[in-house]
Amino acid sequence: MQLTDTHTHLFASEFDADRVEMMHRAIEKGVTRFFLPNIDADSIQPMLALCDAFHDKCFPMMGLHPCSVTADYEAQLAVIKEWLSNDKFYAVGEIGIDLYHDTTYAEQQKLAFRKQIEWAKEAELPIVIHTRNSFNEVMEIVTDMKDERLKGIFHCFSGTIEDAKRTWCRLSSLLQPVLHRSKCKLPDRINR
């Protein structure tokens, strides 16, 4: 069996001590592809280093994580944009809104989310969305910006089953990579 890890931050410093061993253990268990979502400007080099070390297995994404949107977010976004314009990435991520830990920069998070969705559409890349205590805010922006170029997955989803149904009905094309459309009806396993 071939497994794909769609979202791993194994390049983070918390894994410095045993990163390579963890990678080898996962590969031994059948994981053949690892998709790496960027966090901020500082995580880019470690992420790309892991991709260099496991170049046929690791696939980098580029984006500014909502928890990293602070006072300097415009400078951080400029770095992200530079990389996106010049190198190959497999998605724009992870991006979104997180109002669980801190709401100080809620407005800046929304601006950064919109800007990065726009870049994804221009580059025709999927987006990987992080939404925590922010379902309505994320839905408002994604619905507003949705067009035929926008696709991707919800990674961190803290909404209710009703929220999932609303997402499915309104944005099924956005969710297509992980679920299959069936006339606005959720598959049984998530309908429960």
Question: Of the two residues 40 and 94, which places its CB atom closer to Zn ion in the complex?
Answer: 94
Helix (H, G, I), strand (E, B) or coil at 160: coil
How buried is residue 10: exposed, middle or buried, by Cβ count under 10 Å (0-12/13-18/19+)?
A: buried
Residue 93 CB, nearest approach to Zn ion (Å): 8
Per CB under 5 A, the segment of 86-94, 101-109, 117-125, 145-153 that binds Zn ion is 86-94
Per CB under 5 A, the segment of 26-34, 75-83, 94-102, 168-176 that binds Zn ion is 94-102
Instruction: Please name every residue paired with 98 in a beta bridge, in sequence order, or none if there are none.
Output: 132
Residue 8 CB, nearest approach to Zn ion (Å): 8
Per CB under 5 A, the segment of 70-78, 90-98, 118-126, 167-175 that binds Zn ion is 90-98
Residue 104 CB, nearest approach to Zn ion (Å): 20
Buried b / exposed e over 155-172, threshold 16 CB at 10 Å, is bbbebeeebbbbbbeebb
Residue 184 CB, nearest approach to Zn ion (Å): 29
Residue 136's contacts (CB-CB under 8 Å, 6 or more residues apart) are none
100 token code pair:
């669980």
Residue 80 CB, nearest approach to Zn ion (Å): 15
Question: Of the two residues 9 and 170, which places its CB atom closer to Zn ion in the complex?
Answer: 9
Per CB under 5 A, the segment of 72-80, 87-95, 139-147, 162-170 that binds Zn ion is 87-95
Question: Of the two residues 9 and 57, which places its CB atom closer to Zn ion in the complex?
Answer: 9
Question: Of the two residues 61 and 117, which places its CB atom closer to Zn ion in the complex?
Answer: 61
Angle, CA 187 vertex, CA 185 and CA 192 arms, to 5°: 100
Sheet containing 31-36: which strands, arranged edge to edge?
A: 3-5, 31-36, 58-60
Q: How far apart are CA 31 and CA 66, in angstroms?
A: 28
Asked whether 132 and 100 are in contact (CB, 8 A), the reply is: yes
Question: Of the two residues 121 and 130, which places its CB atom closer to Zn ion in the complex?
Answer: 130
Helix (H, G, I), strand (E, B) or coil at 33: strand
- Interface with Zn ion (CB under 5 A), residue total 1
Residue 5 CB, nearest approach to Zn ion (Å): 12
Residues that bind Zn ion (CB under 5 A): 94
